Chains A and B, each alone.
Chain A
Amino acid sequence: NAGVMQNPRHLVRRRGQEARLRCSPMKGHSHVYWYRQLPEEGLKFMVYLQKENIIDESGMPKERFSAEFPKEGPSILRIQQVVRGDSAAYFCASFPGLAGSDTQYFGPGTRLTVL
């Protein structure tokens, strides 16, 4: 997972605040996936983005959550009006998006704690 950057690594928010999680993919990768890992569980797919496009958001809650991957800059996962149930580790995975490519590269994650 070297090369995929996520920040902050740890984020504490009070209920009702906003959380912004950032992911910078590996150099040359134009695709990003976001996953959420609740305590004692595996990773659950949230959203798949290509630069300036949302390809698949089938795993993202319909309210309060949004994601973007602008032409310049990192991908951002935004959670509005956080609740305690949003406490989790959020991982992004970088993907080259080239034909024949098959491996995602994971970042170190952002651990969100909602008080």
Chain B
Amino acid sequence: AQSVTQLDSQVPVFEEAPVELRCNYSSSVSVYLFWYVQYPNQGLQLLLKYLSGSTLVKGINGFEAEFNKSQTSFHLRKPSVHISDTAEYFCAVSASAGKSTFGDGTTLTVKP
């Protein structure tokens, strides 16, 4: 079984500041790791994923994440946020084809 902990439920940040959204996971097997973004009343959009290989993964909208196996973490970062990045962000793990376990989400609020 897998579990995901998103360490911050809310992250307020000023526009153009850097941001890090933290995600820790636990699993007894190798996993795939994902970050999704959800805008109000919409579905989930894939930001980036880690399957294997380089531990630094680059995604859409200027986001990147680093897989750290020893710390079982997959933190999401962006060097300079925009107002439009305000949304809910979900970290997810999957040990097999498709079925994913999600964290409870982090609300990123970008203030002008």
Contacts and interface: CB of A to CB of B under 8 A. Distances in A.
Interface SS of chain B: strand
B99 A48 contact: yes
B90 A43 contact: yes
Interface in B48-100: 49, 51, 90, 92, 94, 97-100
Contacts, number: 62
A104 B32 CA distance: 12
A101 B97 contact: yes
B108 to A, nearest CB: 15
A114 B51 CA distance: 39
Instruction: Please classify how large the interface on chain B is, using the bins under 10, 10 to 19, 20 to 34, 35 or more.
Output: 20 to 34
Given A45-B99, A102-B51, A1 B90 contact: no
B28 interface: no
Contacts of A48: 98-99
B62 to A, nearest CB: 20
Interface in A84-109: 91, 93, 95, 97, 101-109
Given A102-B51, A103-B49, A43 B97 contact: no
Nearest to A99: B97
Nearest to B52: A102
A42 interface: yes
